[in-house]
Structure 1
Amino acid sequence: MANSVGVDGYIHIEGFEKFERDAFDKKKIKAAMRKAGKLVRQRAQLNVALSRGQDSYPVNRTGALLDSINFKVSRSGFLVKIAPYKTGAMHDYYPAYLHYGVKLGGRIKKLAPGEGRGKSNRRRKGARAALVADRKSNGWRIEPRANYMSDALQDSSSAVRAILSQAFADALG
């Protein structure tokens, strides 16, 4: 499912845990992380652009989602994060709406003056529960989409592993 929790979007390179971070040349590690980030970013953009709404991926209409996919290398250089970020072209951060979905029906709001019962303007007994049940049964206004970011990482995981393991080996020497 699109919003399942897991570590699908994570790769760990084995064999270098026994070394301290100071033993590595950070310039080489950061360069490799940038290269890996660029590779996964391009794959994620390709997934969205070519899917055209199939495989439960979002549809690319304006290109704002493609432009928002970017990567950031951490300050230490030992981590890269690839994700859709909010850009100036976006009014709201809508990749979150695409990933988690939006249920049909609005929030249950306060009653307008004079619509309720009595001086306190309350709902009838069981009316709120009926509204909540209606909202739950309505379904999705925007259905959750597949996670194109973790799919891009899985698709290019062998290349990313090769790039990073070679960089870690080179950075030790």
Structure 2
Amino acid sequence: MRHAGQDVRKAARALIASKVRSSAGENPGKQTGKLYRSLGYKVSRSGFMAVIEHKKIAGMKDFYWAYLYYGVRRGAKRRKDHKKQQANGSGWRIAPRNNYIVDALDARRTTVQRTIADSVKRALKPKLR
């Protein structure tokens, strides 16, 4: 799973590595590189699951990858009670961007499946009597 996680993380980073300003529905562009550097992976303790996610790194004030994924409505105020933000109908301030982690997994799906199948095949050894 470690190799599969590394492979998907590398593909996701490649999707957000362009220095082009993004618009709604596209992959986010790279301006400062904080989004790029915050993308990591973690393998579960048992080793049967890998999670590709963002971690808050030094220099980040907010979890802005969530703002990119969900978007921000114009005129929205930050709520303290964790309830759903009311839509005010004035349009998007930051329109939702593409989910590049899912796209990276879809692009590397056959490679990940092959990696896992080969690892399981090498791990299982027949017992000869």
Q: So what's the TM-score if we normalise by structure 2?
A: 0.83
Q: Please state if 1:149 is matched with 2:101.
A: yes
**Counterpart Cα distance in 2 of 1:51 and 1:37:** 24
**Counterpart Cα distance in 1 of 2:40 and 2:58:** 14
Match of 2:93, SS? strand
Match of 1:58, SS? coil
What is the CA-CA distance between 1:91 and the residue it aligns to? 1.1
Q: Please state if 1:65 is matched with 2:35.
A: yes
- Equivalence map 1:22-41=2 (5 Å): 33-41=1-9
Instruction: Indicate conservation of the 8 Å contact 2:19/2:31, yes or no.
Output: no
Instruction: Indicate conservation of the 8 Å contact 1:45/1:69, yes or no.
Output: yes
Gaps of 5+ in 2: 78-85
**Counterpart Cα distance in 2 of 1:89 and 1:169:** 44
Find the counterpart in structure 1 of residue 114 from structure 2: 162
**Counterpart Cα distance in 1 of 2:98 and 2:112:** 22
Distance 1:88 1:51, change over 3 A: closer
**Counterpart Cα distance in 1 of 2:110 and 2:19:** 22
Gaps of 5+ in 1: 1-32, 108-131
Match of 1:56, SS? coil
Count of paired positions: 116
Find the counterpart in structure 1 of residue 12 from structure 2: 44
Distance 1:146 1:51, change over 3 A: farther
**Structure with the greater alpha carbon radius of gyration:** 1
Instruction: Indicate conservation of the 8 Å contact 1:71/1:82, yes or no.
Output: yes
Instruction: Indicate conservation of the 8 Å contact 1:51/1:57, yes or no.
Output: no
* Larger relative contact order, structure 1 or 2 (CA cutoff 8 Å, min sep 6): 1
Equivalent position amino acid for 1:67 in 2: R
Equivalent position amino acid for 1:97 in 2: Y
Give the helix-richer structure, 1 or 2. Answer: 1
Q: String of CA shifts for 1:103-160, please: whole Å, max 9, x gaps.
A: 01134xxxxxxxxxxxxxxxxxxxxxxxx7xx62201001000000000000111110
Q: So what's the TM-score if we normalise by structure 1?
A: 0.63
Tell me the C-alpha RMSD between the 2 structures: 1.9
Percent identity (aligned)? 40
What is the CA-CA distance between 1:84 and the residue it aligns to? 1.6
